[in-house]
Amino acid sequence: MTNGFASVPHRAVRRRTPVGQASRRRYSLATLRNTIAAWRGRTRYRWDLKRISEVNPHLIDDIGLTRRQVEDEIAKLPFWQR
């Protein structure tokens, strides 16, 4: 009988971490990047709304928001400041 794993010696060297741990790390890093991108997008959206409401308040009606909705959105704080 031949050993099927003997023909692949690199597997013993490459498996320094438990199976799946590296993929979980990659998934966690991707999740973190997506979370940061979403947070930055919301921050940018709120900043844009604030600028529009200050400089061209008539544009708020054009994008389909009320003044109250804009004020509520601008007043939101990051989760760590709540």
Q: For the segment 31-75, what is each residue's pLDDT rounded down to a tens digit?
A: 999 999 999 999 999 999 999 999 999 999 998 999 999 999 999
CB 43, CB 15: distance < 8 Å: no
> In terms of pLDDT, which residue wins out, 28 or 5?
28
Query: C-alpha distances in angstroms, 16 versus 5, 11, 30, 42, 75?
Result: 17, 10, 22, 39, 48
- pTM check: above 0.75: no
CA 76 vs. chain centroid, Å, equals 18
The dihedral through the CA atoms of 63, 47, 57, 66 has a sign that is positive
> In terms of pLDDT, which residue wins out, 22 or 56?
56
pLDDT score recorded for residue 59: 93
